[in-house]
Structure 1
Amino acid sequence: MKNNIIKQFSFYEWLNYIEKFRINIEHRKHNVICIARKLGILPLNAFIYIVGGTNGKGTTCFVLEKILLGLGYRVGLYTSPHLFQYTERLRINGRELNKNLHVLSFIRTEQARDTLSLTYYEFITLSALYLLRYSELDVIILEVGLGGRLDTTNIINPNISIITNIGLDHTEILGNNRDLIGFEKAGILRKNKIAIISEKNLPRSLKYIIKKDRVRLKLINKDWFYKKYNNSWAFISKEFHCLNLPIPKVSLIDTATALAALSESKCFINKNVVKHCISQISIPGRFQILSYNPKVILDVAHNFHATTYLSKQLIDIKGFSRIYAIVGILKNKDIKNVFLPLISVVDYWYCITLQTNRSVSAEIIVQYLPIGSSIICSSTKHAWNKIQNIVSTRDIIIAFGSFFTVYEMYKMLKFK
């Protein structure tokens, strides 16, 4: 009876159904692997990159995808979370899939699950891997959802593992120091396989696993380098070098990390294609400039490491401008340290309660910000309207703090 009902679910009914999934953590890995075997997704028949780290995972994945597609490869990409709609999470050859294909995969995954328990994330990741398995791809790029060691993407054995950086985030799950978090991130490394790491200060736990498992480490500033000039930059490694690269619209270190991974893949790299692809990359919510006069910028930065980088980006363009920040944040974040790098950069703060029960209230946010320069707003629209009354064309408006903040801001401006 149940199977007959769910087979008739629409795409959105499926999402509503699986969002209710819960599980005892003790049974996670066994259930995931058992279902993956039923689905026939172990192993995946492609060259696999798996990308972990505290920040920059998504950007690194998108850069890899863009260049590999430019080089003529058939590429599948799985990322999380989505910003606007679920179908963003999975792309085949640069395109999102039709919702009907997702429904077919949901049905197949549910049949394989039977009476076994899964979380929402585990279910949708298995569904995505099923679609990737049968798409006849040359390359598959998997972004780790959380941590690495226990993440569902980690049931796949990669050819190359990538760790972008290691900072404090999701400490209630991954641990409250860099050694504990480093241990979780190191779970995506494989014995005698290549690991691209762009973290400059490796925690002891990560060093230990690299040595124990004889991981073929390719480390930033040792095995590969990048250098920025006024209007260009250069990438150099033993396997590949490229000068006079265009400055990307996304993070430079993440772009370099993608090139480091590409250079270790033993594929032919056309430098002109690389330059063209880098010049074309733009990712929603990653220092995304929506308009000018005043500049309106959206950024999903939501932890200390990310806002430290965001503060440097804002300082580079601030000049004599005033910066107005619209900020909402989720309850599991270290609020004080998220804001700390931006306190001296942002001039005025507009605090909102996001439209999710996971949101910190605006009344709590304002307690972490300078008195006299921060106010409570009832919504994104309320904050936007208040700023419009005083902003000048040379100023900057930045919305950040969560994927939810960026989504609400984008939706409000798109339909304004």
Structure 2
Amino acid sequence: MTYKETLDYLFNALPMFQRVGATAFKKDLSNTIQLCTHLGNPERKFQAVHVAGTNGKGSTSHAICAVLMEAGYNVGLYTSPHLKSFTERIKVNGQEISEDDVVNFVSINQDFLEKVKPSFFEMTVGMAFWYFAKKGVDIAVVEVGMGGRFDSTNVIHPKLCVITNIGWDHMQFLGNTLTQIAGEKGGIIKQGVPVVISQKQDEIKEVFINLAKEKSAPIFFAEEEYEVKPSTNFSTDLRNYTIRKGAFSYSVSMDLLGVYQGRNLPGILKSCEVLRTLGYNIKDSHIKSGLMQIGRLTGLKGRWQVLAQSPLVVCDTGHNEDGIQLLMDQINNTSHEKLIMVLGMVNDKDVSKVMSLLPKTAYYFFCQANIPRALEAATLAEKAFEMGLKGEIEKDVNVAIEKAKKKAGPKDMIFIGGSTFVVAEIKDL
């Protein structure tokens, strides 16, 4: 098969949660275990950092990867979903897996895949671990897809676990309370493996303490150790932060411009500190240089990404209640006259909660990503109009963006988001 034929096979033959939703989700690790066994247990052939959470786990994973790369390690990175290309999911030292390797993996294992019928995500996890073992990575940063306890990535035994934030998302799978969701995310905590909790959330702190105690896992609440304050001085390329730890104070800069990245920083910094205690040679200079070039080193896209100036065009993959609230805070603190939003969502989110956070003074173009799981633009618009939002329907994401640009003045702001899959379709990303 060609690469295109291979992708068509994977997308069509194996259920893919990002495209079809609930039917692809399975609370069971048996398929992943079978696949890893078939592959010779590649997950045992490299060290790993395992990163879970509702918001921030992707940025945190890329940041830790960038620091480890600057420290001279051969670093694997597994993240999901991809934005433009399937190969974005699996990287070594910032380089995506080759199309030939994707074809080769499927060709070698096709009979097994057709027999066991793993989900698209289970297959991708197996491919990532196979590739990391093949490339002889020193360490891999592995982002959880959804939840933690039953996520396919949870077959690894990492050196460090990181949990970024717990919020309302995927409740139909993870539970209807933050305590239940935290219990699922905390399912990545392993026997004796240190765990860093990025944000201190009082209502669920005990969940993590109890899980760590059961596993005799050292636990660190990063926000209790690191105080992070964003600086008012930042360029168009970097955002500066003042870090205070005990009596010490210093500054770091990130090339990720979202103010919400300040919430991820304590966990990132504490993770680097714990990795040092585990024998990794990570110097302060590696942390500072890594954080300044996360995008360049790892290829991260779609996090408060500025696409154009005059009018200011920004996209972001934030898509749940907590993520949208943080984005609205940053939009409100970004200089602009009129706000125009190109908005699309998926059909299994709580649309009303997100809509309640959106400004009624903005003008909206309601669109939909080209995936089965997308919420119909007309349905989204109907709900929005009921809540007093104003705008029009344009199903095609890029046509909606062009219409927004024609409507905008030079001092206006266009925001594109509501779903990872809307951002993924942006032509100029």
1:164-243 to 2 correspondences below 5 Å: 164-201=164-201, 202-203=203-204, 204-231=206-233, 232-236=240-244, 243=250
> In structure 1, what is the equivalent of residue 51 of structure 2?
51
Give the counterpart letter for 1:215 in structure 2. A
CA deviation map 1:379-405 (0-9, x unaligned): 234433433333111111000011221
Go from structure 1 to structure 2 and tell me whether the alpha carbon gap of 1:263 and 1:14 turns closer, same or farther (over 3 Å shift).
Answer: same
8 Å CA contact 1:326, 1:398 repeated in 2: yes
> In structure 2, what is the equivalent of residue 73 of structure 1?
73
How many Å apart are 1:42 and its aligned residue?
Answer: 5.0
> In structure 1, what is the equivalent of residue 236 of structure 2?
none
Quick check: 1:256 aligned with 2:266? yes
Quick check: 1:376 aligned with 2:387? no
How many Å apart are 1:242 and its aligned residue?
Answer: 6.6
How many Å apart are 1:205 and its aligned residue?
Answer: 3.7
8 Å CA contact 1:304, 1:339 repeated in 2: no
Quick check: 1:326 aligned with 2:342? yes
Equivalent of residue 317 in structure 1, options 324, 334, 345? 334
How many Å apart are 1:236 and its aligned residue?
Answer: 4.8
8 Å CA contact 2:43, 2:155 repeated in 1: no
| Counterpart-to-counterpart distance in 2, 1:77 and 1:59 | 12
Go from structure 1 to structure 2 and tell me whether the alpha carbon gap of 1:257 and 1:205 turns closer, same or farther (over 3 Å shift).
Answer: closer
- TM superposition score normalised by structure 2: 0.86
| Counterpart-to-counterpart distance in 2, 1:128 and 1:338 | 33
Equivalent of residue 21 in structure 1, options 9, 14, 27? 14
| Counterpart-to-counterpart distance in 2, 1:42 and 1:100 | 19
- Indicate the larger mover: 102-111 or 254-263: 102-111
> In structure 2, what is the equivalent of residue 359 of structure 1?
374
> In structure 1, what is the equivalent of residue 36 of structure 2?
36
CA deviation map 1:298-343 (0-9, x unaligned): 111110011011112112213x521100001110111111232232
Percent of pairs with identical residues: 26
SS in 1 for 2:115: coil
- TM superposition score normalised by structure 1: 0.89
> In structure 2, what is the equivalent of residue 308 of structure 1?
325
> In structure 2, what is the equivalent of residue 279 of structure 1?
292
SS in 2 for 1:229: strand
Equivalent of residue 298 in structure 1, options 315, 322, 326? 315
CA deviation map 1:262-304 (0-9, x unaligned): 1100223332332233222333111100110111111111100
Bigger relative contact order, structure 1 or 2 (CA pairs below 8 A, ≥6 apart): 2
How many Å apart are 1:170 and its aligned residue?
Answer: 1.1
- Indicate the larger mover: 323-332 or 26-35: 26-35
8 Å CA contact 2:314, 2:414 repeated in 1: yes
CA deviation map 1:122-169 (0-9, x unaligned): 011111111111211111110101111111111001110011111111
SS in 1 for 2:334: helix
> In structure 2, what is the equivalent of residue 4 of structure 1?
none
Go from structure 1 to structure 2 and tell me whether the alpha carbon gap of 1:25 and 1:82 turns closer, same or farther (over 3 Å shift).
Answer: closer
Go from structure 1 to structure 2 and tell me whether the alpha carbon gap of 1:384 and 1:44 turns closer, same or farther (over 3 Å shift).
Answer: same
SS in 2 for 1:265: helix
8 Å CA contact 1:28, 1:118 repeated in 2: no
Go from structure 1 to structure 2 and tell me whether the alpha carbon gap of 1:165 and 1:123 turns closer, same or farther (over 3 Å shift).
Answer: same
Go from structure 1 to structure 2 and tell me whether the alpha carbon gap of 1:388 and 1:43 turns closer, same or farther (over 3 Å shift).
Answer: closer
8 Å CA contact 1:301, 1:401 repeated in 2: yes
8 Å CA contact 1:59, 1:255 repeated in 2: no
1:340-355 to 2 correspondences below 5 Å: 340-343=356-359, 347-355=362-370
| Counterpart-to-counterpart distance in 2, 1:154 and 1:334 | 27
8 Å CA contact 2:222, 2:266 repeated in 1: no
Structure 1, unmatched stretches of 5+, are 1-8
How many Å apart are 1:246 and its aligned residue?
Answer: 1.9
> In structure 1, what is the equivalent of residue 237 of structure 2?
none
| Counterpart-to-counterpart distance in 2, 1:146 and 1:102 | 23
Give the counterpart letter for 2:289 in structure 1. H
8 Å CA contact 1:296, 1:397 repeated in 2: yes
| Counterpart-to-counterpart distance in 2, 1:62 and 1:220 | 18
How many Å apart are 1:371 and its aligned residue?
Answer: 3.4
SS in 1 for 2:135: coil
| Counterpart-to-counterpart distance in 2, 1:383 and 1:326 | 7
> In structure 1, what is the equivalent of residue 90 of structure 2?
90
Go from structure 1 to structure 2 and tell me whether the alpha carbon gap of 1:172 and 1:71 turns closer, same or farther (over 3 Å shift).
Answer: same
> In structure 1, what is the equivalent of residue 152 of structure 2?
152
CA deviation map 1:53-98 (0-9, x unaligned): 1111110111111111111111000110000010000111111121
CA deviation map 1:13-48 (0-9, x unaligned): 222222222599779422321221221225433331
8 Å CA contact 1:329, 1:402 repeated in 2: yes
Give the counterpart letter for 2:357 in structure 1. P
How many Å apart are 1:352 and its aligned residue?
Answer: 1.3
Go from structure 1 to structure 2 and tell me whether the alpha carbon gap of 1:27 and 1:382 turns closer, same or farther (over 3 Å shift).
Answer: closer
- Indicate the larger mover: 279-288 or 382-391: 382-391
Structure 2, unmatched stretches of 5+, are 16-22, 234-239
SS in 1 for 2:223: coil
8 Å CA contact 2:352, 2:383 repeated in 1: yes
